[in-house]
Structure 1
């Protein structure tokens, strides 16, 4: 707090007087600001020096959005290239019929106007003492011109031929028009879009300029669109890079707004911002009371927008909040939630007034309560009585269907009398659905369990809410449903959520819990979709290079029958492998059906995921405990991996000793292997990575090794398990070898084995369903290196994948349906 001082001292602090006739001061002024009431009382506002310029998140978001649109437009243009060429030819033929004099006049006027309008706007801004904005526009114009020239030169000399042809129309033109891109960059940087008259004029002359350039065959339609988007991207990047003038009202404007609400402030100081980055002030009033004022700045409303959009897209939720919120909507939302919590009888700071501060901010004035946040208390200070008080406050909100949405340690406070006070209503929601109310309970249960343990947290909640309410929140005890801070804390205590679930299940053992799926998709799903799209593109490009009619008529289909038989035997081998690593008896026929069903599941899951999941489910349905079922499948996978490596080394040795010249590893391959080995060593040298790998291996072998010891006690199980693994690999090798021979390839069996074992390892690591794309590419490349002609290699691989991946889908679906109907899955 800064007390009143002499006039000389006030001047040394750069104090600005605000009288009744003065609304606000220059936003760039900071330090100690002053307000003056009607009675000439001067108020010193203690706050940090406000920066003169800010990098607005909205400019960065607009830049990123423009880049995304630009990328999408280029991709669509490349796909529809022929259509665009035809459209351009039609428009060109039509414009050629226009009188030459009229076309010349239009070209001259549009070319002049596209320079005159920005110049006139610059003059107008300079007369209004806004020359800095014009300077920003000139910087953007220079960057736009230089960037378009450099990119154009790169496209012409070294860029993709398809893109260069698309933008130039195979003519001697600039891929990006330098003048047009610089004008658009300038118009974007000076924010001409905020002036309706100038905006309409600017876009009119731009459209005329594009039309004249197009009719004069100086630009193509794709080039015009890309130039516009590129200029906008440069303009937004310039705005974010150099920053924008700070239009946030300073503290003295906050004081002036409070006086309009009939408050009489005598002191003010800036305190820590809230979790959303909004400014907060502690205001002292003349009657001895205090206010806590939250200031909502317009330029902060888009802060955190990517995260909010990601959560809305990824999660199922009943929330009706918009990801992009206006200043007025945010003010009304927080005020409504504050009044609703007061009406519900909850102990919260009373909202005493709201007001706009000019056009760039708004404030909410709350009564000040002397409190301490729960985060500031030691765990030993959180008593059972305090826990009960917290749940009683939450119950009041639940009864009025109010969702708080942020029940964490920084929004739960204790006043001087030890009463619980709930703060931060901005994240809340009125008339909330059951899902949001249950998420509130799950969030608070988890946070309190982090502080006092699962048992005390659940016991306190059950004493206030009752066991049924906790049973309803049980399926919401998921990391994804919790706040970001709580998720971060849970990463250090992974056993907490299972502990909370166990405590709730002990209270309500007979409760029927309906599963709640919050995630629409996982990030892994997004990666799988993208990878599958690329894989499909690869397969289509491979098919386009193959003459299917010639392939079918010239193939030796006797080898194809052998390949089909080998593919069928592989399912029996997979069943024997599973039976061998499960001490409990399993019927061979039904286990074979499970392997067919797994081929159907692999159509939508990565190869290393679908088979493991469906076999584990099958064992659980056969009465094998979940932990032992996972251990059995894990044991088969571990032994299968070891066998795979040994077979690869064996066949590679045989191939190298027989034909050292036909399939010798290249120097590049050896360098790649050494580079991977060095990378692994470096990663294992990082302590966090090493601990993670050690923890994963420890958890794996702690379950797998005892299961293997059980299997090794039975010679029959050993024969089934190891024989099934060996037979499984060999049947796939035989299938691929027969496919190669069917198309006239004469590559040796051991060479094909090396190709298969290598490609299968790559495909198992691919995120696409069944290793789609990765397996085909690896097999085709391997066979080509082994000496098989590229066309025959592609045909062989496609036949092999047809027999082992696509053909079993139909019987796999039938098996999956049959097993589900008989409750075997």
Structure 2
């Protein structure tokens, strides 16, 4: 590279990788979205587009025919001459790469808008000079292909044009919309499609051709350093431009009168930042500076990341965004100066300057000291002492990766100040403690790191910060800097509990929405979905309620409570009576909400397991207790079904519930096919052997233990039976409330058979399937439809919808009290 008559060698590539051109990628994304928006709007409006524009143009199109023709003609000449003017500038400027992009963009946009259902339609432009001038120009003004070509050409060449000309020509192109309306014409929808499609094609070409912003103004950086008394002799690329800046090592000779910023340790000969091997390298008049060069792509990537953090993280987790790239770079230099004032900075700023084409330079000294040495335990104490001093002045670092923590002469020095803050919030200070805790645990071991942290900042502070040792609360750059971060975070939290004698460390929620809140949102959506069919039947149900017997309704409401007491008693006994029975009963209402709003009731099973885990049972023990309850529930349900079917005798015709032979053969065939699949497919066989069989073995052991404990056995069976019989009593009371006359045994059979058939329904809570099965079952036993329909709806209100609406606040109460 030649600067002011001197040849300065540059080692390494200054080009930015294609995948890191964030500005160009955003341009492609926005233009693609604009094309989709125009297509969707055109499809939705269809023939109403032109009617709307005709109405608008009749309102504002006040120009006379002569003035309209004059305006139309002058604008047409400008639009026709625009691409040729740009082309002349490219040719005279001898920018042949840009000329190739110009040609590809124009051709691509024209061809893209020429594709029809019958192939490619050629333009119908002609040069019939005998026609009126406005007629000739309208061929181009009203042709979407010409508009697309102009938009594509301006997109490709715009970054290379002077800002004034670029803005003028874009305004000229976009003016075709108001000018059409002014002259009482209609802007066709295809013209808007041409504008957005041309922008999209041009953005794609720019992504590969590039812009002037990719050309790094290194020569200007060299001149800025020269004015600071640093005569640059050699440049070496340390890190190409990517997520971070383009980093260069500049070997400089100090001019007479310029002072050296600070002492630097000697480096190995193969380090590009090492002092030169020539004799003059020992002269104090030479130093190595590090240049961080930031371009517009780093700025746009930073904006995207900041927007992502704003959408996903709480505001306290992220510092305020910077108004410009200049402010962001100046912030680094100011934070380095602030750290240096405390004697904790590994680098000292030398120069901050704006360069051409949107680039910013931050020049600083090379980092002093070495990284943490795992064989020197004194450095561990020094690191925590340095962080304590930093926090004593309410300053946070924000990026405590190992390479940013350096030691020299027994003292700690910090580097990398992009995320540092003065006047930091308590959240940012806790984040620093968590980061240093994880990094030092990786270097020195978990036990030593936790002990040093407790000694430096106190046990309470370490406990609070340990809640941030999670995947969401710990940034990815910190996790990538350590080995096996998940295991290390778990081990560190366990060691904190041991050394501080703390039972539980609560995870810190750093995101705007927690996992539980997402689950609750899904449950609410499911609730709306399952409630819609019921809402549509409310008017009819309300009409029937005018003649209901309220004593039977109250009885049905009371006996429906047996289901919750029975389920709580059964689960309490399955959990070996080690949980609070009152809390377990309250949890059953939340369980109804979770089970109703999820298919097949999986939400209820998950909530029961989580409740047992939060109340002292381990994960395996809680899962086994829930599985045991479900197993006994199924066995009890089937047993009661057989007993009541026998008790019904000949008075009950059960043929309505027996499937046809075809259905039975189909079910048996599916079962045999499933068994064959598990026998043949290795993956299913391994799942059956490794995952399912141990769980079945655990349940079998529990059943054998249960058989040897009659008291506990009776509680579980009685609770499961109470669940089934309570539901049957509620349905029987609902039928009686509307004047029905049916035996309790018959209603019990309908409840059990109908519930069994509906349990396979894919809808949450079996909505639709349960109602249909129960109404059909009652009708099969002679209950009139006028009684069966409102009775089943009342039964569902008592046993499903009231508990569901009570279950939502109950679930929130359980969460607030850390019971689930």
TM-score computed with the length of structure 1 as normaliser: 0.68
> 1:56 is matched with which residue: 21, 30, 33?
21
Matched, 1:480 2:472: yes
The answer (yes or no) to whether the contact 2:679–2:685 under 8 Å persists in 1 is no
Q: Which residue pairs with 2:573 in the alignment?
A: 580
Deviates more, 1:92-101 or 1:253-262: 92-101
> 2:627 is matched with which residue: 638, 657, 665?
638
Gapped regions of structure 1 (runs ≥ 5): 1-15, 21-35, 37-41, 155-175, 764-770
Task: Report SS of the residue matched to 1:576.
Answer: helix
Q: 1:358 to 1:245 in 2, by over 3 A?
A: closer
The answer (yes or no) to whether the contact 1:648–1:754 under 8 Å persists in 2 is no
- State the Cα distance separating 1:74 from its structure 2 match: 8.8
The answer (yes or no) to whether the contact 2:347–2:365 under 8 Å persists in 1 is yes
Cα distance in 1 for partners of 2:28, 2:808 equals 47
The answer (yes or no) to whether the contact 1:739–1:800 under 8 Å persists in 2 is yes
Cα distance in 2 for partners of 1:105, 1:471 equals 79
Q: Which residue pairs with 2:331 in the alignment?
A: 333
Cα distance in 2 for partners of 1:461, 1:445 equals 7
Cα distance in 2 for partners of 1:643, 1:200 equals 76
- State the Cα distance separating 1:631 from its structure 2 match: 5.3
The answer (yes or no) to whether the contact 2:249–2:291 under 8 Å persists in 1 is yes
Cα distance in 2 for partners of 1:291, 1:644 equals 75
1:20-46: per-residue Cα shift (whole Å, max 9, x none)?
7xxxxxxxxxxxxxxx2xxxxx42121
> 1:199 is matched with which residue: 170, 173, 181?
170
Matched, 1:389 2:390: no
Q: Which residue pairs with 2:405 in the alignment?
A: 412
- State the Cα distance separating 1:385 from its structure 2 match: 0.3
The answer (yes or no) to whether the contact 1:372–1:414 under 8 Å persists in 2 is yes
Q: 1:120 to 1:347 in 2, by over 3 A?
A: closer
- State the Cα distance separating 1:294 from its structure 2 match: 1.6
The answer (yes or no) to whether the contact 2:352–2:361 under 8 Å persists in 1 is yes
Q: 1:307 to 1:360 in 2, by over 3 A?
A: closer
Q: Which residue pairs with 1:28 in the alignment?
A: none
Instruction: Note the 1:581-730 alignment, pairs <5 A.
Output: 581-584=574-577, 591-599=584-592, 608-609=602-603, 612-613=606-607, 617=611, 626-627=616-617, 633-639=622-628, 658-661=659-662, 711=706, 713-721=708-716, 724-725=719-720, 728=723
- State the Cα distance separating 1:244 from its structure 2 match: 4.0
Cα distance in 1 for partners of 2:692, 2:242 equals 35
Q: 1:755 to 1:324 in 2, by over 3 A?
A: farther
The answer (yes or no) to whether the contact 1:346–1:396 under 8 Å persists in 2 is no
Cα distance in 1 for partners of 2:26, 2:191 equals 23
Q: 1:473 to 1:53 in 2, by over 3 A?
A: closer
Gapped regions of structure 2 (runs ≥ 5): 120-142, 254-284, 642-654, 741-746, 780-785
The answer (yes or no) to whether the contact 2:57–2:182 under 8 Å persists in 1 is no
The answer (yes or no) to whether the contact 1:291–1:367 under 8 Å persists in 2 is yes
- State the Cα distance separating 1:428 from its structure 2 match: 1.2
Q: 1:75 to 1:275 in 2, by over 3 A?
A: closer
Q: 1:735 to 1:554 in 2, by over 3 A?
A: same
Q: 1:447 to 1:123 in 2, by over 3 A?
A: same
Cα distance in 2 for partners of 1:779, 1:680 equals 36
Cα distance in 2 for partners of 1:777, 1:543 equals 9
Provide the alpha-carbon RMSD of the alignment: 6.1
> 1:458 is matched with which residue: 439, 443, 450?
450
Instruction: Note the 1:174-253 alignment, pairs <5 A.
Output: 184=151, 187-191=154-158, 195-209=166-180, 216=186, 218-219=188-189, 232-240=199-207, 243-244=210-211, 247-249=214-216, 251-253=218-220
- State the Cα distance separating 1:141 from its structure 2 match: 5.7
The answer (yes or no) to whether the contact 1:655–1:751 under 8 Å persists in 2 is no
- State the Cα distance separating 1:263 from its structure 2 match: 0.6
The answer (yes or no) to whether the contact 1:54–1:244 under 8 Å persists in 2 is no
Q: 1:139 to 1:388 in 2, by over 3 A?
A: same
Matched, 1:352 2:347: no
Cα distance in 2 for partners of 1:794, 1:67 equals 53
How many residue pairs end up in the alignment?
725
Task: Report SS of the residue matched to 1:123.
Answer: helix
Q: 1:601 to 1:290 in 2, by over 3 A?
A: same
Cα distance in 1 for partners of 2:534, 2:76 equals 49
- State the Cα distance separating 1:642 from its structure 2 match: 5.5
Instruction: Note the 1:421-820 alignment, pairs <5 A.
Output: 421-487=413-479, 492=484, 494=486, 496-505=488-497, 516-522=508-514, 525-526=517-518, 529=521, 536=528, 549=539, 569-584=562-577, 591-599=584-592, 608-609=602-603, 612-613=606-607, 617=611, 626-627=616-617, 633-639=622-628, 658-661=659-662, 711=706, 713-721=708-716, 724-725=719-720, 728=723, 752-753=754-755, 755-759=757-761, 762=762, 771=764, 776=767, 804-812=799-807
Cα distance in 1 for partners of 2:318, 2:75 equals 47
Cα distance in 1 for partners of 2:243, 2:507 equals 32
Q: 1:92 to 1:449 in 2, by over 3 A?
A: same
- State the Cα distance separating 1:447 from its structure 2 match: 1.5
Q: 1:821 to 1:338 in 2, by over 3 A?
A: closer
